[in-house]
Amino acid sequence: MPTTNQTSLTDLAEPNQNHQHFKIFKPYGYLSQFLPESRKNKHLLGELFNFPDKTMAIGRLDHDSEGLLLLTTNGMMSYKVRDKGIEKEYYVQVDGAITVEVMSQLQNGVEIGINGTKYLTLPCKAFKLDGEPQLPTRGRKIRDPRHGPTSWISITLCEGKNRQIRKMTAAVGFATLRLVRVRIGDIHIDSLIAGEVVTLPNFDAVLKS
């Protein structure tokens, strides 16, 4: 399995030359990292592609989340893309028939818990999708549709607290069943299939958003 080395502070300070950038559709069940955690037998990004040395994920999607993930060998670019001014859009399948009132709560900010402390999320863009979006089938079945209706919504954040969207939908009474990131800045997931890797010339589209 291909592996990558962690980037040091010296690497971050060096001139940016011959760096490589990628976008991938992170599948369900993969960790957004290259080095395994102790005593955890989980799928890692290095199983998807022969990435160059010192490739790092820009931000993370948790084990159960899917979709657009950017990777780079340029540590400074990683800091720029993770800036709070860069939008990240997610398609979220929630358990139940979501209402206009609930969508308004999400838009205005809801109280969630972060490391044992209450936190009010920033106002965000959120709206209900007209139907199920065209996404690759998830590797694991969500649940039997006979258990009740579900809804698909779009949430766009400029912040990224740990498991924030799952906590936001739970705070308004709707459990997240599936979470897929579809956009970072102006870079979209497009028609990528789960596990697919695409080389990008640069991340200019992200920084212009």
Catalytic residues: 62
Q: Which residue bears the tokens 């060096």? A: 14
Q: Do 190 and 132 meet the contact criterion of CB atoms below 8 Å apart?
A: no
Q: Which residues pair with 92 in a beta bridge?
A: 153, 179
Tokens of 189: 């997931």
How many C-beta atoms lie closer than 10 Å to residue 121's C-beta?
Answer: 21
Q: What is the DSSP string of 104-126?
A: HHHHH--EEEETTEEEEPPP-EE
- Chain centroid to Cα 21, Å, comes to 17
